[in-house]
């Protein structure tokens, strides 16, 4: 907490006050291709901008193509040499995710880094197009399915280039505030027990469990790909549109804990690019430093059960 308030650097040499540009200083990413979901706004846009600034080929995956193209032009305005592409992706739709993956793979590009950044937060109860609670569908299940569709390409790229692949899941400290048992396996879509805050926490816990289980599986098969989770920090972005007044009130009393967008994107960019993390996998990072997540997040039985449920939900959505 002291490091968060003061911005004092941790063991990595960076801390809560570090920006995405600072943590990637002098890193040449010209040989890397990166997908950033939700890269049209907020910390996703800053992540895309900084990675492009470090010369990576960045694909912005976004539901709103108009906003994504505007984001691309903003990046190009300041960096004419930036290599940016835009592809449509609605993470709440299994069909849209499959279409995105097909469209990306058709480009014939390598894939070194996948940043699962997009999400929704504290939204009122609603179901996705596939009949799944929206926060769970968008924040977890969409990224679970997307990752599975792109994993072979990442393995192929890592093997042919010898360059370590990296997958980064954006989780949150909110994973601590979830339902009893961590994941409501039998009540994912239950409206009566729905809590917008706990449902968000559940989805962020799912991001951690997904990353940890995938990390274990990739290590077992010897794939040259790491998978880690990050908490970006408290940042006022469009993600908070469903609770803007509440968050503004909260920020007035906890302003010292909040970050700006360049600081919010720092941990993501650090975990995605920094050479110090070569071979580091299955970890959770806060303020660019490794941090201990909740007991639920470290529960391997819970992670495997979530993996099975996620596959079941994806298969059910594909059959409808």
Residue numbers annotated as active site = 194
CA distances from residue 161 to 32, 204, 215 in whole angstroms, order as listed: 10, 32, 20
Q: Which of 105, 121, 85 is nearest to 235 (CA)?
A: 121
CA distances from residue 22 to 9, 50, 80, 113, 306 in whole angstroms, order as listed: 12, 10, 21, 19, 36
Q: 3-state DSSP call for residue 179? A: strand
Neighbour-count burial of 231, counting CB atoms closer than 10 A to its CB (0-12 exposed, 13-18 middle, 19+ buried): buried
> Can you say how many angstroms the Cα of residue 138 is from the centroid of all Cα atoms in its chain?
11
Neighbour-count burial of 239, counting CB atoms closer than 10 A to its CB (0-12 exposed, 13-18 middle, 19+ buried): buried
Question: What gap in Å lies between CA 111 and CA 309, rounded to an integer?
Answer: 27
Strand stretches in the chain, DSSP E: 33-37, 57-62, 83-88, 113-116, 165-170, 225-231, 284-286, 289-290
Contact between residue 199 and residue 172 where contact means Cβ atoms under 8 Å apart: no
């Amino acid at each position: 907490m002291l490091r968060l308030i003061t911005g004092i650097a941790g063991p990595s040499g960076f801390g809560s006050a570090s920006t995405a540009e600072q943590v990637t200083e002098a890193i040449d990413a010209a040989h890397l291709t990166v997908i950033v979901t939700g890269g049209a706004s907020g910390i996703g846009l800053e992540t895309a901008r900084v990675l492009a600034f470090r010369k990576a080929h960045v694909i912005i995956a976004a539901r709103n193509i108009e906003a994504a193209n505007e984001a691309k032009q903003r990046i190009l305005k300041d960096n004419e040499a930036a290599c940016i592409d835009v592809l449509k992706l609605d993470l709440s739709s299994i069909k849209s995710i499959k279409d995105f993956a097909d469209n990306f793979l058709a480009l014939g590009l390598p894939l070194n880094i996948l940043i699962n950044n997009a999400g929704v937060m504290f939204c009122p109860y609603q179901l996705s197009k596939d009949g799944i609670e929206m926060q769970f569908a968008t924040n977890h299940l969409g990224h679970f399915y997307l990752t599975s569709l792109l994993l072979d390409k990442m393995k192929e790229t890592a093997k042919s280039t010898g360059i370590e692949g990296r997958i980064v899941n954006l989780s949150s400290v909110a994973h601590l505030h979830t339902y009893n048992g961590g994941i409501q396996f039998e009540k994912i879509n239950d409206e009566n027990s729905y809590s917008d805050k706990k449902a968000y926490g559940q989805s962020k816990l799912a991001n951690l469990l997904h990353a940890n289980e995938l990390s274990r599986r990739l290590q077992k098969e010897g794939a040259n790909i790491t998978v880690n989770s990050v908490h970006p920090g408290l940042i006022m972005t469009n993600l908070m549109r469903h609770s803007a007044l509440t968050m503004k009130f909260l920020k007035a009393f906890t302003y010292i804990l909040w970050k700006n967008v360049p600081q919010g994107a720092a941990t993501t960019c650090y975990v995605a690019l920094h050479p110090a993390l070569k071979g580091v996998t299955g970890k959770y990072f806060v303020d660019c430093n490794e941090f201990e997540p909740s007991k639920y997040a470290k529960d391997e039985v819970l992670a495997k059960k979530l993996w099975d449920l996620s596959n079941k939900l994806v298969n059910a959505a594909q059959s409808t």
